Chains A and B, each alone.
Chain A
Amino acid sequence: MTIGAPTLEVEVLVIGLFVLMIEAFFERIDKRTLAFTAIIGLGAVLAASFFLAPAPTEVASTGFWSFYTADPLAIFFKRFALVTTILVLVMMIDYAPIVRESIHGTTHQSGLGEFFALPIFTCVGLMWMASAIDFVMIFVSLELVTMSFYVLVSFTRRNPATLEAGVKYLILSALSTGFLVYGITWIFGVTGETNLARVAAALANPAIEAGPALFGMVLVLVALGFKIAAVPFQMWVPDVYQGAPTPVTAFLSVGSKAAGFVVLLRVLQPFFMLPQMERLLTMIALLTLIYGNLAALPQSNLKRLLAYSSIAHAGYLLIGVVSLSGEAVSFYLVAYLLMTLLSFAVLIVVAKQTGENIEDFNGLAKRSPFLALAMLIAMASLAGVPFTAGFLGKFFIFDAAIRHHQSALVVVGVITVACGFYYYLKVVRAMYWEDAASNSTVPLSGLSRMTMAAMIAGIIFLGVYPQPVLNALKAVTRKPSGDRIAEPLINRD
Chain B
Amino acid sequence: MILLFIVFCPIVAALAILIGAPARLTALWAAGITLAATALAYLGFEAGQRGFQFVTSFPISGEWRINFTLGVDGLSLMMLVLTAVVTFAAIWFTGEIARNEHAFYACLLFIAAGAIGAFASLDLFFFYAFHELALIPTFLLIGIWGSGNRQAAAWKITIYLATGSFVLLLGLIMLYRSVPEAARSFDFRALQKAASLIPADAQNNIFLVLLIGFGILVSLVPFHTWAPEAYASAPAPAAMLHAGVLKKFGLYGLLRLALPLLPEGAQHWSTLLIVLLLGNIIYVGLVTIAQKRLDWMLGYSSVMHMGYIFLGIASGTLVGTNGAAVLIFAHGISIALLFGLAGEIRQRTGTLLLTDLGGLGKVMPRAALAFGLAAFASIGLPGFANFTGEVMVLFGTFRNGANPEHFTIYQTATVLALWGVVISAVYMLRAYRRVFMGAVRESWSGVTDLRRSLQVPIGILVAISLWFGFFPQSFVRIVSPTFKSYFTPK
Binding site for B on A (CB under 8 A): 365, 376, 380, 383-387, 391, 395, 398-399, 402-403, 410, 414-415, 417-418, 421-422, 425, 428-429, 432-433, 464-467, 470, 474, 492-493
Contact = CB atoms under 8 A, between A and B. Distances in A.
A470 B140 CA distance: 33
B185 to A, nearest CB: 14
A402 B170 contact: yes
A418 B159 contact: yes
A429 B170 contact: no
Contact of A421 (B151, B159, B169): B159
Interface stretch (B49-57, B125-133, B193-201): B125-133
A268 B63 CA distance: 27
B163 A415 contact: yes
B143 A432 contact: yes
B60 interface: yes
B155 interface: yes
B132 A385 contact: yes
Contacts of A492: 63
A464 B129 CA distance: 10
A271 to B, nearest CB: 27
A429 B143 contact: yes
Contacts of A383: 162
B147 to A, nearest CB: 14
A475 to B, nearest CB: 13
A386 B128 contact: yes
B174 A414 contact: no
A425 B163 contact: no
Given A386-B132, A433-B144, A398 B173 contact: yes
A173 B129 CA distance: 41
A385 B140 CA distance: 14
B344 to A, nearest CB: 25
Nearest to B181: A493
A404 B62 CA distance: 22
Interface string B166-181: 1101100110110001
A417 B166 contact: yes
Nearest to A414: B166
20 contacts: A376-B136, A386-B129, A387-B129, A391-B129, A398-B173, A414-B169, A415-B163, A418-B159, A418-B166, A425-B139, A428-B139, A428-B140, A432-B103, A433-B144, A464-B60, A466-B61, A467-B60, A467-B61, A467-B62, A470-B64
A252 B163 CA distance: 30
A126 B177 CA distance: 36
A410 B171 CA distance: 11
Contacts of A376: 136
A422 B159 contact: yes
Contacts of B60: 464-465, 467
A417 B213 CA distance: 14
A435 to B, nearest CB: 10
Contacts of B169: 395, 398, 414
Contacts of B62: 467
Interface of B: 60-64, 103, 128-130, 132-133, 135-136, 139-140, 143-144, 151, 155, 158-159, 162-163, 166-167, 169-170, 173-174, 176-177, 181
Contact of B136 (A402, A403, A428, A493): A428
Contacts of B167: 414
Contacts of B155: 422, 425
Contact of B170 (A380, A387, A398, A418): A398
Contact of A380 (B61, B103, B136, B177): B136
A399 B177 contact: yes
Contact of B163 (A386, A399, A418, A466): A418
Complex A-B, nearest 7 residue pairs according to Cβ-Cβ distance, in ascending order: A386-B129, A418-B163, A421-B162, A386-B132, A414-B166, A417-B166, A433-B143
Given A384-B166, A385-B132, A467-B62, 18 more contacts: A385-B136, A386-B133, A387-B133, A395-B169, A399-B176, A402-B173, A414-B169, A414-B170, A418-B162, A428-B140, A432-B143, A433-B140, A433-B144, A466-B61, A470-B61, A470-B63, A474-B63, A493-B181
B174 A432 contact: no
Nearest to B131: A386
Given A417-B162, A421-B159, A467-B62, A402 B132 contact: no
Contact of B177 (A402, A432, A466): A402
Contact of B158 (A399, A403, A421, A474): A421
Given A399-B173, A432-B144, A385 B135 contact: yes
A474 B163 CA distance: 32
